[in-house]
Structure formats: C-alpha cells, structure tokens
C-alpha cells in the first residue's frame, strides 16, 4: 500500500480554494492526522477520554494540600457525570471512560473499569513506587484499555487522570527523565502556598536522593504512579494502532515523556493539547519538541484540556475532506 507522505498532504492543502498556508497550525494539525492514520480523510468523529485514577503513597508525607480520600470522591463524581471533565465531554461530543488503575479503596460501579494493580503506589520518598511486576502489569493494562477503546470505535484517544499527589510524581519523572532540577520541576499542583510548595520540594528531594535511576522504565518504577504508568501504556497501545492521542497537561505529559523515552516511535501519535499553568510543563513540552494546541492557563487535569482541543482535530480533518480545490472552483465543479 502506498504511504501517505507529508508532501502529499501539503500539496492537497495548497491546492484548496484559499491562500496556501492561510490556516497556519490547523494545516499542520491536518498533516499530523493524515500521517498518523495514513489517510487523506482522517477520522476524528469519535473521541474517547480514557481517565485513569490512582493514589500515591507520597501523600503520606504531605505533598498535596488535599487528603488522598479526595481521589475516591472525585472518581465517584466522574462516574456520576458531575465533574468538569464530564461537562466538557458533553460540550464537545466526547465519551468518558473512568478506569481504576490504583485507587486506595475498594470501588464498585457498573461504569467503572476495574484495572487496579494495587491500592495506591508506595511512598516514593521511602521506597520504589512499584515493583517490576506491578509496573509491567500497569503498562500492559494501559495498552489493553487503548486497544479496547479503539476496537470499540474510537478514532481519537484523549488522556486524563485523577489522583491526589500525582503532580509530585510527575515532577520526579520530569526531574529524572529530562533531566531538570527539582526546583524547576515542582509546582503548586492543586494549589500549594509558598510554605506548602517548600515542603513538597523537600519531600521530593528525599525521594530523588533515595534512587539514582535514569533508565526510563526504572525511573517510572521508582517514582511513577499507577495511573501515570497506565497512561504511558495507553500511548504505546495507540501507537501500535496508528491512533492519535490528545495528551492533556503536566501529569499526562510526564506519562507521555516516559512513554516516548521507553518507545521513541510513540511520539508520532501524541498531539499535545495545551500548555498548562503548572511549573515545568513548558520545559517538558520543549523537550518533546511539542507545540501545544491551546494555552489557557489550565491546571485542573482530568483530561479537560485534551477535551477542549478535540474540536480543533475535527476542524483539521474537515479541512482535508470537505474543502474544494481552487481548480474545481474555477471550473465550476462544485
């Protein structure tokens, strides 16, 4: 089968009834979609948000201003359709799949996907967050969730997360995988004041001093979270199936960084939705050579930024499929 090339897509766009290049980065996005799906008519109609939830042992040392129990409460809110991600998904015509990757509670709900590896990661300031076997299982289950969504008809996957303490885990991943200083990696998360931020940095400094891991799998094992690992696995699963992935903010980008460091070809399917307000996110994006689609000062998570970017993908796909060529316009072939 003849492969679709960037030159093919650019020629098609340049022949349209409008000035070449007049749609700027939407044209670039159309090219990316065509290359990922290997078609001049990319499919973007069905967007599925895979929202992975997990708890973090780091919360035992006070890295978040909220208690770990909030993770369980927010999972219940998501399942009730009352979280921000639900509202945004309805607004853009996307579906939400909530997945228990490692919530520290026994959960039961007909709409919850049970992929739990264990009840929360271990405290990375004191021990490795996961065993080798647990991390392998989390990656496998993330791949399986991506495969299931795509087989069910998803054209585009969006990634989201819920987990108190996960900005701390993401900061450690950034620190070791970029690499970057911890001071440049640690941000306010869910709303720390200066004192809380200083405490968070001190805890993460202890965690970083505990292990000198630099190999991507081992860094993820030492410092990652179960929901972060499953998002990395989901990216790998999407890459195997040539499916675009809308990567949300700081925490999802840390998962993408780990995924790409483990498997460089996974970068090709990643579309980075937005630049968040969290310290360090812009530096991670630059390391991944990513120019995000939006810049709205978001820092919520839940996949909210990814959902807001979904209409841009649909517009880019429509640009390829539905706009007449200049030759057809001039010849009256409309």
Along the 334 residues of the chain, how does pLDDT read in single tens digits?
Answer: 689 999 999 999 999 999 999 999 999 999 999 999 999 999 999 999 999 999 999 999 999 888 999 999 999 999 999 999 999 999 999 999 999 999 999 999 999 999 999 999 999 999 999 999 999 999 999 999 999 999 999 999 999 999 999 999 999 999 999 999 999 999 766 666 788 788 999 999 999 999 999 999 999 999 999 999 999 999 999 999 999 999 999 999 999 999 999 999 999 999 999 999 988 999 999 999 999 999 999 999 999 999 999 999 999 999 999 999 999 999 999 8
47-312 has CATH 1.10.357.10 classification: no
**What's the CA gap between 321 and 233, in Å, rounded?**
31
Q: What is the pLDDT of residue 191?
A: 64
Q: What is the pLDDT of residue 2?
A: 87
Nearest to 161, CA basis, from 82, 68, 255? 255
- The boundaries of every CATH 1.10.1610.10 domain in the chain are 6-42+319-331
Q: Which two tokens stand for residue 231?
A: 């998002």
Q: What is the pLDDT of residue 65?
A: 85
Q: What is the pLDDT of residue 190?
A: 61
- The boundaries of every CATH 3.40.50.10210 domain in the chain are 47-312
**What's the CA gap between 305 and 251, in Å, rounded?**
12
**What's the CA gap between 186 and 167, in Å, rounded?**
8
Q: What is the pLDDT of residue 192?
A: 67
> Catalytic: 302?
yes
> What does pTM read for this prediction?
0.96
Q: What is the pLDDT of residue 177?
A: 98
Assigned CATH topology for domain 6-42+319-331:
1.10.1610
Whether residue 138 contacts residue 33, with contact meaning beta carbons closer than 8 Å, is answered with no
Backbone φ, ψ for residue 182 (5° rounding)? -65, -35
Whether residue 256 contacts residue 232, with contact meaning beta carbons closer than 8 Å, is answered with yes
Instruction: Please pick, among 134, 227, 278, 302, the residue that the annotation labels catalytic.
Output: 302
């Amino acid at each position: 089968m003849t492969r679709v090339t960037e030159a093919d897509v650019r020629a098609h766009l340049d022949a349209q009834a409008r000035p070449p290049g007049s749609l700027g980065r939407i044209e670039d996005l159309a090219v990316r979609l065509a290359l990922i799906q290997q078609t001049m008519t990319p499919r973007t109609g069905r967007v599925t948000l895979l929202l992975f939830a997990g708890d973090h042992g780091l919360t035992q040392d006070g890295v978040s201003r909220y208690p770990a129990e909030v993770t369980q409460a927010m999972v219940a809110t998501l399942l009730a359709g009352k979280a921000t991600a639900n509202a945004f998904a309805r607004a853009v015509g996307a579906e939400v799949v909530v997945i228990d990757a490692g919530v520290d509670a026994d959960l039961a709900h007909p709409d919850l996907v049970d992929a739990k590896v264990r009840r929360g990661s271990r405290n990375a300031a004191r021990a490795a967050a996961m065993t080798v076997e647990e991390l392998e299982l989390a990656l496998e289950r993330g791949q399986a969730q991506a495969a299931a969504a795509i087989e069910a008809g998803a054209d585009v996957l969006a990634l989201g997360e819920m987990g108190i303490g996960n900005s701390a885990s993401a900061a450690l991943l950034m620190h070791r995988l970029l690499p970057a200083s911890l001071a440049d990696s640690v941000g306010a998360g869910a709303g720390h004041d200066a004192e809380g931020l200083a405490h968070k940095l001190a805890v993460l400094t202890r965690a970083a001093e505990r292990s000198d891991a630099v190999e991507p799998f081992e860094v993820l094992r030492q410092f990652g979270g179960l929901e972060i690992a499953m998002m990395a696995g989901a990216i790998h699963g999407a890459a195997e199936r040539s499916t675009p992935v809308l990567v949300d903010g700081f925490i999802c980008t840390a998962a993408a960084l780990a995924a790409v460091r483990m498997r460089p070809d996974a970068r090709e399917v990643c579309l980075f939705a937005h630049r968040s307000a969290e310290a360090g996110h812009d530096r991670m994006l630059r390391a991944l050579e990513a120019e995000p689609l939006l810049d709205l000062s978001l820092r919520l998570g839940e996949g909210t930024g990814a959902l807001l970017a979904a209409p841009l993908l649909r517009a880019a796909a429509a640009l390829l499929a539905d706009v007449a060529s200049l030759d057809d316009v001039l010849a009256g072939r409309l």
